[in-house]
Amino acid sequence: MENLLRFLGKASSFLLFVFLQTIALFLLVSHNNYQQSVALSSANVVIGNLYDSVNSFTEYFHLRTNNTLLAEENTALKNANMLLLEQLQDTIQTQDTLILTADSSTTYSYITAKVINSSVNKQLNYITLDKGSLHGIQPDMGVVNSEGVVGIVSTVSENFSVVIPILNPRIQVSCRIAKNDYYGSLLWEGKNAEFANLKEIPQHVELVKGDTIVTSGFSAIFPENIIVGTVEEVNTAKDYNFSKIKVRLAVNFQTISFVNLIKFAKIEELNNLEKQNIE
């Protein structure tokens, strides 16, 4: 209390000056229309800037929610698009009459998940997602995002799942060169998160930088024609029958945040049929 009184005693002149200035300003604004309008205008500017700052601050904390909603809306659009594509594929032409087949249910559907952990600089990279078996996630489901192929689900718990990305030499993805339909396998060799190698393409196949590489559709994991990347470099050797093709991956694994998991509705039927042939 003594310190407060000592402070007020030292600052009394300044406080009196501020008090008198406030009264003078109030009297000036109250009895002068022009000054009143200027004061109100200035106050509006200050308040407007304050609201704008508060709004920007609030929007920042709503970004996560907005991104989640956008990802879910994108998944819904993918599912609707897949249904339309399959309905078109199920449409056959018989005696100049278009007939829509009875079974128009979609074969593929998508589930949205958020990346909660990932690595790109290891020899064996992994991605952890915030959804698991309770959300319909199963091992061996294909994983993509808006840019292209991400990887394949490896293990699943009730609420989480782990994905082996294509930045891991333990998986290979069956691919196709979009312009000429030659097929090969994409394999990452653990050197750079931006590139992988396309193998099993004969040397006589003409390729140029920028040619598009897509999924082949040869497995139930990925539908066909999902972009994997583009040709970056082609090398050939006289004593080797196949080209060494460097592919720039479509997905930026450094910034990946949301993914879509591909659910193949007829996977059990396909697996059972293939097991019968193996046995």
pLDDT for 179 equals: 93
* Alpha helices, H only, the chain: 2-10, 12-30, 33-89, 267-278
Tokens of residue 41, six digits? 């205008």
Q: What would the pLDDT profile of 167-223 be if each residue is shown by its tens digit?
A: 999 999 999 999 999 999 999 998 899 999 999 999 999 999 999 999 998 888 999
Nearest C-alpha neighbor of 151 from the set 107, 118, 104, 103: 118
Kindly report, residue by residue over 5-40, the tens digit of the pLDDT.
665 566 666 666 666 667 666 665 555 555 544 444
pLDDT of 83-95, one tens digit each? 444 444 444 443 3
- Residue 241 dihedral angles phi and psi, to the nearest 5°: -85, -15
Q: pLDDT at position 178, please? A: 93
Beta-carbon contacts of 56 under 8 Å, excluding residues fewer than 6 positions away, are none
Average pLDDT over residues 152-177: 95
On average, the pLDDT of the chain sits at 77
Q: Is the pLDDT of residue 48 over 80?
A: no
Indicate the length of the chain as a whole number. 279
For residue 271, the model assigns a pLDDT of: 72
DSSP 3-state assignment of 135? helix
Evaluated on CA atoms 122, 128, 133, 137, the torsion sign reads negative
Output the CA angle 79-142-267, nearest 5 degrees.
80
d(CA 195, CA 177): 16
**Residue 41 pLDDT > 50:** no
User: Is the four-CA dihedral 63, 68, 73, 77 of positive or negative sign?
Assistant: positive
Q: Is the CB of residue 150 less than 8 Å from the CB of residue 165?
A: yes
237-254 pLDDT tens trace: 777 889 999 999 999 999
What whole-number percentage of the chain has pLDDT above 70? Answer: 62
Buried b (16+ CB within 10 A) or exposed e, 248-259: bbbbebeebebb
pLDDT higher than threshold 90 for residue 272: no
> Residue 243: which residues within 8 A CB-CB, separation 6 or more?
201, 202, 203, 205, 207, 234, 235, 236
Span 51-84, pLDDT tens digits: 445 445 555 555 655 566 565 556 556 554 554 4
pLDDT of 2 strictly over 90:
no
Nearby residues of 242 by Cβ (< 8 Å), 6 or more positions away? 199, 200, 201, 202, 203
- Amino acid at position 23, single letter: I
Tell me the residue ranges of DSSP E strands in 188-242.
195-199, 212-215, 227-235
Share of the chain above pLDDT 90, in %: 48
Give the integer Cα–Cα distance in Å for 241 and 259: 37
